[in-house]
Amino acid sequence: MDEIRPGAKPLVAAIGEFSLLVAFSADGDIAIIECKLSHNTQAKREVIGQILDNAAHLWKISYEEFDQKIKYKQGTNLAEWIKGKDTLEDWDEESFLANVQTNLKTGNFILLIAVNEINEELSRIVQYVNTSGNPGYAFAALEMRRFQSESIEILVPRVFGPVRAAKPDKKKWDEPSFFSKLLENFGEIEVGVARKIFNWAKDNSMDIAWGEGLQMGSFVPILFHQGIAHRLFAVYTTGVVETYFSLI
């Protein structure tokens, strides 16, 4: 994963159906993986539309709905499923779930097309997506060539596409920038409501975690109870207040 998104940890769990896999890193990165084992040029071209369509279906889905889908497939919720992986050490569950929620809201996914042999057309499309504009996701193709000699089989992976920083640009919001943007988007009434929420959190000795969205600002009050951080809700410069029921 580091080759596709520098700094990203390895994927630790995946859930799939047919040619689609949705996988997770310990930090809450979400990878959408489309597998296309075909020599058909048209099929490899169509997989671009398929993976973008799957990403669009996950984009802005609520965490609660997403967690229900995981529970339906795995028999347990996302946090318990990831927690059961033996490879995890010093795993931060609160941070993982908060990052999953943020990635669902912003569409900041890792999109990976896995093929048995990449052709020039697919390689060119992937390179174009990565060099035109600044999409808020990582996009790559993974070629898995298979070589076999008698009883020995070797898979040789090769990554195409990510020629830019894997994570989109970030802006660290703070109190002045947040309320300035909210005022720009709305008016004094909305700013007053957000200010009351902010002051209530501060008056009750809560920490404030500021978002890092490039366009959309946010803050999250954090309540510490018995040494555990609980993220209660998020307030956005879009005028939305999102309650984290699953994290309380």
**Domain-ending residue, one of 113, 128, 160:** 160
In three-state secondary structure terms, 74 is helix
**C-alpha–C-alpha distance, residues 58 and 11, integer Å:** 18
Please check whether residue 73 is in contact with residue 51, taking contact to mean a CB–CB distance below 8 angstroms.
no
**pLDDT tens, residue by residue, 73-96:** 888 889 888 888 766 677 788 788
**C-alpha–C-alpha distance, residues 31 and 235, integer Å:** 26
Output the furthest CA–CA distance in the chain (Å, rounded). 74
Phi-psi region of 75 (alpha: psi -120 to 50; beta: other; left: phi over 0): left
Q: Tell me, what's the pLDDT at 166?
A: 45
**pLDDT tens, residue by residue, 191-222:** 999 999 999 999 999 999 998 777 788 999 99
Residues 35 and 124 reside in one and the same domain: yes
**C-alpha–C-alpha distance, residues 119 and 126, integer Å:** 11
Residues 122 and 221 reside in one and the same domain: no
- Give every CB contact of residue 68 below 8 A, 6+ residues apart in sequence: none
Residues 44 and 126 reside in one and the same domain: yes
Containing structural domain, residue 201: 175-247
The band of 44, judged by pLDDT with boundaries at 50, 70 and 90, is low
| Rg for the chain, CA atoms, rounded | 21
